[in-house]
Amino acid sequence: MSERELLHTDRVLVVEGKYDAARLSHLTDALILLTDGFGIYKDKKRQQLFKTLAKKNGLILFTDSDAAGFRIRTYITNLVGAEHVVQAYVPAIHGKEKRKPQPGKEGLLGVEGVDDAIVLQALKDALGAEAGAAAPRPEGRAITYADLYNWGLSGTPGSAERKYALLNALGLPPRLSKKELVEALNRLYRFEELDAFQAAFFASV
């Protein structure tokens, strides 16, 4: 699917695992965040990030159609408030993902296993009139991978420790991938604001 065919939305798309995220990254330009399965129950910083982004942009919950998926969906909806959430559902289709040696406990395909057309239709149904609306560009200059390098958060000696310290100070989950981090930072901060914050923070530690 070419870039011009990606489904556009300003909402943050929440899925269960990395294979779901990898699959959906080819179908939409939405910021995609993971629950890490039931890990969301104990990850207070990820919970806070979901709450913040839900109020700022809104969420699309797109979990599997099995019982576990619905438990996670209900938990996050209650966590952030139903008014900030739209629900995307995959139909209960029996089958097995190619990467798995055997089907899941309920024998249903997850988000990663259903056809592209079904995934896109589920997202469009959830978004309704919002579907296809281009996400607004961040005010001012966008935060980039080069900024993470220049701030010593990626690709430099001690970058992992610096990244952990800064994310902890910002109240963000330390396990965000580089892609998730850049996209989340662009949703939450202007470049100038974060540049000044990180400089002051590292000067004080």
**DSSP letter assigned to residue 177:** -
pLDDT > 90 fraction of the chain, expressed in percent and rounded: 48
Q: Is the pTM of this model over 0.85?
A: no
Question: Residue ranges of the alpha helices (H) in 62-190?
Answer: 67-80, 116-127, 145-150, 159-170, 178-188
Pick the residue with more confidence: 140 or 109?
140
Q: Exposed/middle/buried for 136, CB within 10 Å: 0-12, 13-18, 19+?
A: exposed
Which phi and psi (to 5°) does residue 98 adopt? -60, -35
Contact 103, 113 (CB under 8 A): no
Give how far the C-alpha of residue 94 lies from the chain's centroid of Cα atoms, to the nearest Å: 26
Six-digit token pair at 30?
Answer: 């939405």
Cite the DSSP H helix spans in 57-137: 67-80, 116-127
pLDDT at 2: 44
As a dihedral over the C-alpha atoms of residue 48, residue 52, residue 31, residue 190, rounded to 10 degrees, the angle is -120
Arithmetic mean of pLDDT, 31-46 = 93
Query: At residue 200, does pLDDT exceed 80?
Result: yes
Q: What values do phi and psi take at 163, rounded to 5?
A: -60, -45
**Angle (nearest 5°) at CA 54 between 51 and 55:** 90
**pLDDT tens digits for 162-194?**
999 999 999 998 888 888 899 899 988 999 999
Alpha-carbon distance 48 to 80, whole Å?
A: 9
User: How much is the pLDDT for 95?
Assistant: 63
What's residue 149's pLDDT?
Answer: 95
C-alpha 167/C-alpha 163 separation (Å) is: 6
Tell me the per-residue pLDDT of 75-117, one tens digit each, with 9 for 90 and over.
999 999 999 999 998 877 766 556 665 656 656 667 777 888 8
Distance CA 154, CA 168 (A): 16
Residue with the larger pLDDT of the pair 113 and 74 = 74
